[in-house]
Structure 1
Amino acid sequence: MKLYRFITGVDDSEFCHRVTQALNKGWQLQGSPSLTYDATQGRTICGQAVVKEVDGEYSRDIKLGDY
């Protein structure tokens, strides 16, 4: 089955570490990153889609972070 995650967070090193961790667990980048500006909090928010092919059948009970 193919899994999909969209990682989001403030544009800082922690966001980069989360994406790096996913890549090192076998996830692959899917498309370009996205950015938006949160004017209320005065900060940039990043998003990056990642996908991973794994064995098994899909269920809504799957915890994507476990992969």
Structure 2
Amino acid sequence: MRPRDTITVVNEDATAHTLTASDKFLDTSTIASGKSETLTTPNESGQLPLHLHQLPVHARHTLTVS
């Protein structure tokens, strides 16, 4: 990803999800099944630790912006 790229988070599961960066720069509302939300990456390069919550399960990922 590059700075200021857009990301569309699509929930293709039957369970609601949220996606949140550790610093809260990226933070979705609860995304219901079949719905999506669009976000914009930060202005600067770097790595953003992400937390994907498939309610009630929690997974960690990293988004690299370069």
- TM-score, scaled relative to structure 1: 0.34
Larger helix fraction of residues: 1
TM-score normalised per structure 2? 0.35
Whose RCO is larger (CA < 8 A, sep 6+)?
1
